[in-house]
Amino acid sequence: MELNEEVFLIKRALFELSESIGRNQLNTTSISLLALELDISNEILEKVHLDLVKLSLEDEDLELNDFKEVIQKYISNVSDLTIIRIIDGFANTYIPKFKEYSISLKDDYITR
């Protein structure tokens, strides 16, 4: 088996496993897996992470546009749904303060 085929199978297995633990369009179980899905490099992911940590230190009510501003500095042409998925992924793993925002943004997105 060639390396590309092995990598493809590993990625597919990760997606299958993540779906078995609840990953879906509105539930990001792993920000790293989402980065793989969206072809976002680790370097870009780390920059987004750092800027989101800075955003989390602000004492204001955050809105989708605040997150958009941060994320779109590094990732262009990203939909609102993808931004919500990114926020959810970071909230689940690295920035628990964003969990309430994530839930609220997902609810707002569903009821649009």
**Model confidence pLDDT, tens digit, residues 69-79:** 999 999 999 99
C-alpha dist (Å) from residue 57 to 13, 80, 104: 36, 23, 19
What's residue 21's pLDDT?
A: 80
82 neighbors 76 (Cβ within 8 angstroms) = no
Number of domains in the chain: 1
Residue 7 has pLDDT above 90, yes or no: no
pTM: 0.86
Residue 63 sits in which domain range?
A: 3-110
CB proximity list for 34: less than 8 A, separation 6 or greater: 28, 40, 85, 86, 89
Instruction: Give CA–CA dist 49/9, Å, rounded.
Output: 28
